[in-house]
Structure 1
Amino acid sequence: MTFSLLARCPDTGAFGYAAATSNIGVGARICALAPGVGGVLTQHRTDPRLAPRGIGLLRSGCDATHTVAALVASTPDHAWRQLGVIDATGATAHFHGARVKPAHNAAHGPGVVALGNILANDQVPAAMVAAFSAATGVFADRLLAGLAAGQAAGGEHGPVLSAALRIVTDQEFPYADLRVDKADDPIATLASLWAEYAPWADEFVLRALNANAARGG
C-alpha cells in the first residue's frame, strides 16, 4: 500500500525520494539518504532499520545490487520486505519478498527506481519512472511529478493518507524534508508545501553555511 520513487539528480548529484501510502506518517520510516552515497527505501511491513543499514553498506563500497542482497540476507523476515536502492553512480536495484502483496512491481530508469505494493495495478511504478524522466524543472519538481503520475496511474487500492519528499545535496542535513502525515489529498498538499518551501530552500542552506550573508531571521 505504498508507492515511491528514489532518484539521483544528474545535474547536481543530489539524492531524493518521494512516497505516498494509505497509512499515517509515511515519511517517518521508509527511507534513508546520504550525500554522495545514495539512498535506500524499505516498505511493505516496513522495517525502518533496513534503510540506515543499507546506507552503511553503500558507504562501505557496496553497489546497489550487492546492498540489496546483503539487506535481504540480514533479515529473517525478508519475505515481507520490499526494498529499493540507488548508489553513488545512480545504479539501482530492488527486491520483492515472496509475501509482498499484489499488485506489486518496480521500474527502473537512468538514475531512478520506483516501486510499490498493494497497488491498483502493476503499471504504477512504470508510470512514475516515465513521468520523472520526462519532467522538467528542479529535482524536487521531477520527484513530485513522478509521485503524481503514480497516483494518476491508479495509485494503491485504498485512499492515500500521507506523503513525503526528502532531498540531500552535499551537506549533512537535508536540502528539503517535507511531510504530510495525514490529509485528504496528501500528494497535492505536499506539492503545495514544496511550492512554498522552494523559494527558501537555498536560503536555509546559506543560513547554516554563511550566516553573515543570509537574509531574514
Structure 2
Amino acid sequence: MKLSFNKIIDFFLLRKDFYSKLNDKTMWLYIGIVFVGLRDVFFAAVSMCSNNAEFRNNFEFNFKVMGILLLAALVVGFVDMMGFSYPAFDAIKHFKNRNESKSMSLVMIYSSQLTKVAKLYAIANAIITPVDLLCYFTGSMAVTYNSDILAYISSVLGILAYFWFNGVITRGLCVLFKLSNSIRGIVFVLVFIWNALLSQAIVYLLELVLLRL
C-alpha cells in the first residue's frame, strides 16, 4: 500500500532523482522564461476577454499588438521566474545546514542553485498548464450552457491545479536543498503564500499592459 502511494506521489510530483539531475546550464532557463511569459500573457488575455466586455469588443489582434504581447511575455516571464527564485532561495537557505553553506562559495550557490530553482518553477508551470487549459475551457462551457456542475468542476480543477503546482515546487526545493521531511510542511506553506502574492502582482501588471492595447 505504501509502495503504491509512493508511486502516485512520484507520478504527480515527479521522482526525486529527476530534480537531482537538474543542472545550471542556462539554455533551458531562457526557454523557461519564454514559456512562463507566454503562459502568463495567454491566460491573462483570455481572462480579460471573458470578464471584460469592453476589452473583448475593442481588442484587435495585429502585428503591433503581437509584438507588444511578445515583448510583455519576455519581460513578465523574467519578472515571474526571478520574482519566485530569489525569494525562494533566500528563504530556503535558512533551513540548510550552516556547515554545508560554509563549504561552498556564495557565488557558486547563487549562480547554480538560482538557475535550478528557476528551472523548477518553469517545470511546475509546464506540468499544470494542461489542467489550467481544461479549467478555462470547462469554465467557458459553464457560462455558455449556464451549467452549475461545469462551474463547480472548473473551480475544483483550479484549486487542485494550484495545490499541485505548489506541491511540485515544494518537493523540488526539498530535493535541491536537501531539506529534511520535518520542515516540508513549512516550505509548502511559504511557497503557497508567496506564489499567491506573486500571481496577483503578475496579473495586475498584465492587466495594465492589456488595457493599453
Structure with the larger RCO, 1 or 2 (CA within 8 Å, 6+ apart)? 2
Normalising by structure 1, we get a TM-score of 0.28
Larger radius of gyration: 2
Structure with greater proportional strand content: 1
Normalising by structure 2, we get a TM-score of 0.28
